[in-house]
Amino acid sequence: MTKLNNFQTHTSEDIRLLEDAVSEERCFGKDEDVIREDQTTNHVYLVVKGWACRYRTNSLGKMQILNYQIPGDFCNLHTTLTQKIEYSIGTLVPSVIAYITHDKIDDIYEHHSRLTRSFNWLALNEISILQEWLINVGSRPAHQRLAHLLCELLIRTRAAGLTEDHRFCLPLTQAQLGESMGITHIHTNRVMKRLRAEGMITFQDRIVEVMDWQRLKEYADFDARYLHLDNAEPSLIRDL
């Protein structure tokens, strides 16, 4: 709900409605799949705690990560109309996932226009982030891609209330970072070294600290508007 409040304020009824829609909460360990590509489901998954990602593996085992989900993010809100799922959803750290059945979501779309608007906002964000990732992978050199990804994740973790300053926990291996940017883990390492050498970030024990936000932002050609946080608490995203 923290997240949805970045779009519009919700009544206690909205909140209860969403909470009641959750049929179950399940705990997962690190690196477990919530669902595998080509399985069927009539649930939508919401990350309550932890980190998850949507990804696909091709016939040769090469993996492409499609988005990350942090607390408050739906993993597959857009799949309500189809049972078949075209990609896998996996956890990156031990996580708690809420299950919501398609009926409940349909019911909200049918009868609750305020929450419907919020869901549409989430769909808009999903598309915007995908577009930005496509731009990242399709048109930026590797060092900019990493810088851009780090900018996004800093803002998203802040907007989710996971951090308040310029450090955040990034529980990803360099291989996984590479799989979201279309580069190998070797090259991710090279590029990470470069960002560190330039004094823009540090990254130790899963903690990223952005030392020079302004410079990182420019370096990455980062423009936060695609995250649509115009209505968020200004304090959450101050200095950004």
3-state SS, one letter per residue, for 55-123: EEECCCCCEEEEEEECCCCECCHHHCCCCECCCEEEECCCEEEEEEEHHHHHHHHHHCHHHHHHHHHHH
**129 binds DNA, rule: CB under 7 A:** no
Residue from the set 78, 169, 189, 236 that interacts with DNA by CB under 7 A:
189
Q: Name the nearest CA neighbour of 85 among 123, 29, 35.
A: 35
Q: Pick the piece of the chain touching a copy of itself (CB under 8 A) from 43-51, 164-172, 177-185, 202-210.
A: 177-185
Q: Which residues fall within 8 angstroms of residue 62, CB to CB, at 6 or more apart?
A: none
**64 binds a copy of itself, rule: CB under 8 A:** yes
Residue from the set 185, 211, 215, 240 that interacts with DNA by CB under 7 A:
185
List of residues contacting DNA (CB under 7 A)? 30, 141-143, 173-175, 182-187, 189-193, 205-206
List of residues contacting a copy of itself (CB under 8 A)? 56, 58-59, 62-64, 66, 78-82, 84, 86-87, 109-110, 113, 116-117, 120-121, 123-124, 126-128, 130-131, 133-135, 137-140, 180-182, 221, 225-226, 228
